[in-house]
Amino acid sequence: MLSSPWRSDFPALAVLEAQGEIYLDSAATAQKPQALINALSGYYTSGAANVHRAQHTTAERATRAFEGTREKLAAWLNVPGADQLIFTRGATEALNLLAYGLEHLVRPGDEIVVSALEHHANLLPWQQLALRRGARLVILPLDLAGAVDLPAARRLISAHTRLLAVSQLSNVLGTWQPLTELLPLARAQGALTVVDGAQGIVHGRHDLPALGCDFYVLSSHKLYGPEGVGALYGRREALAQLRHWQFGGEMVEIADYQHADFRPAPLGFEAGTPPIAGVIGLGAVLDYLLTLDETAVAQHEAALHAKLVAGLGKRRGLHLLGRPQAALASFAVDGVHHGDLAHLLTEQGVAVRSGTHCAMPLMNSLGRTGAIRVSLGLYNDGADLDVFFAALDRALEMLA
C-alpha cells in the first residue's frame, strides 16, 4: 500500500490534496513540517533580534538558537566542529562564495573540472571563474547510466587540475555520482574538491569527513526547511584558503577608514544580517528529522522510487533519462513535447517539473529540448503515483 506515516506531519499535503493537487516536485523544493511552522512563529512571537551583536537577552536567545542550528547541522553531517559550517542564502550562494573565495588560487592555464550533469549553480560560477582567470573548464562525460565515466575522469583529471566540482546526486538523472572513486583522483593531483549536495543531502545521512571532500554545499529548502538558507562545509585546511568575498556587518574584526581585518570562518563569511528565523527553522527541521526512523524513511523512499521507475518503464515510447537510482526520474516520450505533457498533467492537478531543469548543457548533450521530472519526498504515498500514472495515461491518450 505504500503509505507514508509522516505525511500528516506536513500540513500542506492535506491542503493540496483538498484542492485536488498531488505534489511530485520535491526536488525543486520540499513541503514543510509543522515543526518548522511552529519554530518560525515561535521565534517571531517571542521576540526577534539580530545575532552576534547586542548583549540584551532577546539577542542572546536568538544567537543561541542560531548557533544551535550550526551544531545540529554539524552533528547531522558528522562534522567535528560546528565552526566548519558557514551559513549562506542557499546552495547557489555557497558555490558562488567558493568561486570567489578560491579565485586567488586559480592561475592562467589551470583546469577546473566539473561533470556534464551539473546544475547551472555548480557550472556557471566555475565557468565564469575560468573566464576571469584565463583557466580552462574541463567537462567530465557521463556513462549511459548517467554517472560520471570513471575511465574518462582518470584521463581528464591531471596535474593541471586545480579544482573538481561535482554533484552528489543528479537533480535531473537521479543518479548517485561515484564520489568515492572520483574525489581521490583529484586529491592525488593536489586539487581541491567541491561536492554539490543540494539533492544528495535530502536522501540519507552523509558523513562528510568520511566522504573526503574539501567542501560540501547544501540548501535548506530541499531538506524540508525554509528557503533563503544554505550551508557550506569545509575541511579546516580548505576553509583557511578562502579569501573573504562579501563585506560588511559582523564579519569584520577591526575596521578603520582605509583598512580592515576580517574574521575567520564561519563568521567572516557571513556578512550582513543572516536569515535568522530561517536558520532557527532549519534547526527545528533537523530536530524533527532526528525523530524519524532513518531505516524506515530509506525503505519508504526506495519503495516509492522503485514503483515510479517500474511504472514509467511500462509506458510505450517513454524513455527514462539515465538510470535513476533515487529520489526522482526524468523522462521524455517519443513524438510528444514535454510542454504538452506538462500542460495536461497540470490540468489534472499533478505538480511535476518540465523543461531543462537548470541543466541546459546536459539536455543538449542528451539530445533533448527538455524532459518531465517526477520527484519524491518522504511524505509521498504510493497513491500519489497512482494518480500521476492515471493522469499520464490520459494525457498521452489525448496527445496520441
Ligand X SMILES: Cc1ncc(COP(=O)(O)O)c(C=O)c1O
Comparison of 39 and 166: residue with beta carbon closer to ligand X: 166
Smallest gap from residue 113 Cβ to ligand X (A) = 17
Q: What does the alpha-carbon distance between residue 308 and residue 296 come to, in Å, rounded to a whole number? A: 18
Q: Which of 91, 106, 166, 183 is close enough to bind ligand X by CB under 6 A?
A: 91
Can 358 be counted among the known catalytic residues? yes
Q: Which stretch, 194-202, 269-277, 332-340, 374-382, contacts ligand X (CB under 6 A)?
A: 194-202
Secondary structure (DSSP) of 93-107: HHHHHHHHHTGGG--
Task: Kindly list the distances between the CA atom of residue 357 and the CA atoms of 166, 179, 274, 388, in Å, as whole numbers in the listed order.
Answer: 17, 22, 28, 20
Sign, CA dihedral 300-296-2-306, equals: positive
Interaction of residue 354 with another protein, rule CB under 8 A: yes
Q: What does the alpha-carbon distance between residue 276 and residue 243 come to, in Å, rounded to a whole number? A: 24
Give me the amino acid identity at 352: V
Interaction of residue 174 with ligand X, rule CB under 6 A: no
Smallest gap from residue 83 Cβ to ligand X (A) = 23
Of ligand X, another protein, none, which one does residue 218 interact with (CB within 5 to 8 Å by kind)? none
Q: Which stretch, 11-19, 213-221, 247-255, 332-340, contacts another protein (CB under 8 A)?
A: 332-340
Q: How many CA atoms lie within 13 A of 166 on its CB side?
A: 33
Smallest gap from residue 23 Cβ to another protein (A) = 15
Q: Of 47, 66, 102, 100, give the one whose Cα is nearest residue 250.
A: 66
Q: Which of 171, 193, 325, 380 is close enough to bind ligand X by CB under 6 A?
A: 171
Determine phi and psi for 281, rounding to 5 degrees.
-60, -40
Q: Of 167, 160, 166, give the one whose Cα is nearest residue 190.
A: 160
Smallest gap from residue 18 Cβ to another protein (A) = 17
Q: What is residue 345's DSSP assignment? A: H
Catalytic residue among 86, 350, 358, 371: 358
Interaction of residue 339 with another protein, rule CB under 8 A: yes
Q: What does the alpha-carbon distance between residue 356 and residue 363 come to, in Å, rounded to a whole number? A: 6
Q: What does the alpha-carbon distance between residue 114 and residue 153 come to, in Å, rounded to a whole number? A: 10
Q: Which stretch, 16-24, 77-85, 119-127, 342-350, contacts another protein (CB under 8 A)?
A: 342-350
Smallest gap from residue 6 Cβ to another protein (A) = 29
User: Cell numbers at residue 51, please?
Assistant: 545575532
Which secondary structure element, helix H or strand E, spans residue 226, and what is its range? none
Q: Which stretch, 9-17, 117-125, 254-262, 389-397, contacts ligand X (CB under 6 A)?
A: 117-125
Interaction of residue 229 with another protein, rule CB under 8 A: no
Of ligand X, another protein, none, which one does residue 339 interact with (CB within 5 to 8 Å by kind)? another protein
Surface-to-core class of residue 23, CB atoms within 10 Å of its CB (0-12 exposed, 13-18 middle, 19+ buried): buried
User: Cell numbers at residue 266, please?
Assistant: 564561519
Q: Which of 70, 72, 119, 300 is close enough to bind ligand X by CB under 6 A?
A: 119
Q: Which of 24, 97, 198, 391 is close enough to bind ligand X by CB under 6 A?
A: 198
> Using CB under 8 A as the criterion, which residues of the chain lie in contact with another protein when the complex forms?
337-340, 342-344, 346-348, 354-355, 369-370, 398-399
Q: Which residues are the active-site residues? A: 358
> Using CB under 6 A as the criterion, which residues of the chain lie in contact with ligand X when the complex forms?
90-92, 119, 121-122, 167, 171, 196, 198-199, 219, 221, 230, 358
